Amino acid sequence: MAYPSLEELVENFSLFDDWEDRYKYLIDLGKSLPVMAEGLKTDQNLVKGCTSRVWFVAQEKEGGKYHFIADSDAHIVKGLIAILLGAYEGKTREEIANVDIEDAFSQMGLDQHLSPNRRNGFFAMVERVRGGSCF
């Protein structure tokens, strides 16, 4: 599945005038996630530091590029996962390390409109990817 790139996501979020519309867009992004097999929803794949339950798995593909499979039990968090997949899907570890996800998060207005728990959970997922614990 092709996810919108981080640049496209930043642009799409800028099209909305109020947070309610951005919130709906975030939920719609989450609805686009493919279904994660129940067998992958293990404690090993569970992201620590998220209030909601989040499972995150990486698979190395040809050329050292990564494919991610992730899911959550919360709609907003699924949208945040979709943002991460747009940022990291199909990239190498080096490319992943060079993504300025913090800047994009801020440009989308998520730093101002998400609860501290959601922000912390988002960056727990980022650290799981960057730190390689989902590889």
Q: Is 57 helix (H, G, I), strand (E, B) or coil?
A: strand
Q: If pLDDT is split at 50, 70 and 90, which confidence band does 50 have?
A: confident
For residue 11, the enclosing domain spans 6-130
In a domain, 80, yes or no: yes
In a domain, 135, yes or no: no
Which pTM was predicted? Answer: 0.93
**Which residues lie below 8 Å from residue 11, measured CB to CB, with a gap of 6+?**
none
Number of folded domains that form the chain? 1
The CATH number that applies at residue 93 is 3.90.1010.10
In a domain, 85, yes or no: yes
50 among known catalytic residues: yes
CB atoms within 10 A of CB 34: 10
In a domain, 1, yes or no: no
**Which residues lie below 8 Å from residue 2, measured CB to CB, with a gap of 6+?**
none
Question: Which among 10, 29, 33, 50 is annotated as catalytic?
Answer: 50
Cα–Cα distances in angstroms (integers) from residue 134 to residues 22, 59, 69, 93, in the given order? 28, 9, 10, 12
What confidence tens digit (pLDDT) does each residue in 55-68 have? 999 999 999 999 99
